[in-house]
């Protein structure tokens, strides 16, 4: 069974608690409007303080990905092979999560994806799948 690893007591603990509850919190700079994930007190691009917290919609596109064949943590041994993708969210920030629901050889740059609601069963809380398209 997959478990959350290394989150307790970290600066990202509140982020992961929100993600596990179905949210996807980002920080947006009140000056330059760029978004970022880290809970920083100021914008990493222009240093303006006090960014606002917004919730991402959970849609975006694949920036890059890797197929994991050897889990870097024993908690994920039962999941291999799996895909970890860098997803460029529509709000601008980039996050990393599982990519499921597509054959490995069909993954391509700019593939549009959407977040899957957290299963709450110990599975990774940040999972994406190809965006369901409406037939033309």
Q: Which residues bind Zn ion (CB under 5 A)?
A: 29, 31-32, 43, 45-46, 48
Helix (H, G, I), strand (E, B) or coil at 56: coil
CB of 43 vs Zn ion, minimal distance in Å: 3
CB-wise, 10 or 48, nearer to Zn ion?
Answer: 48
Phi/psi for 29 (5° steps) reads -70, 135
CB-wise, 25 or 130, nearer to Zn ion?
Answer: 25
CA distance 100 to 28: 28
Phi/psi for 55 (5° steps) reads -105, 125
CB of 33 vs Zn ion, minimal distance in Å: 7
Q: What angle do CA 111, 14, 46 make, to 5 degrees?
A: 70
CB-wise, 48 or 55, nearer to Zn ion?
Answer: 48
CB of 53 vs Zn ion, minimal distance in Å: 14
């Amino acid at each position: 069974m997959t478990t959350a690893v290394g989150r307790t007591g970290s600066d990202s603990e509140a982020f992961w608690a929100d993600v596990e509850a179905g949210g996807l919190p980002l920080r947006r700079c009140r000056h330059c409007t760029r978004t970022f994930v880290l809970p920083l007190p100021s914008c990493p691009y222009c240093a303006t303080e006090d960014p606002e917290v917004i919730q991402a919609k959970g849609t975006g596109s694949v920036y890059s990905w890797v197929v994991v064949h050897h889990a870097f943590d024993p908690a994920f041994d039962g999941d291999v092979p799996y895909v970890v993708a860098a997803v460029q969210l529509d709000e601008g920030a980039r996050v990393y999560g599982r990519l499921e629901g597509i054959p490995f050889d069909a993954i391509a740059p700019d593939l549009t994806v959407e977040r899957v609601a957290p299963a709450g069963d110990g599975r990774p809380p940040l999972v994406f799948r190809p965006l369901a398209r409406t037939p033309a």
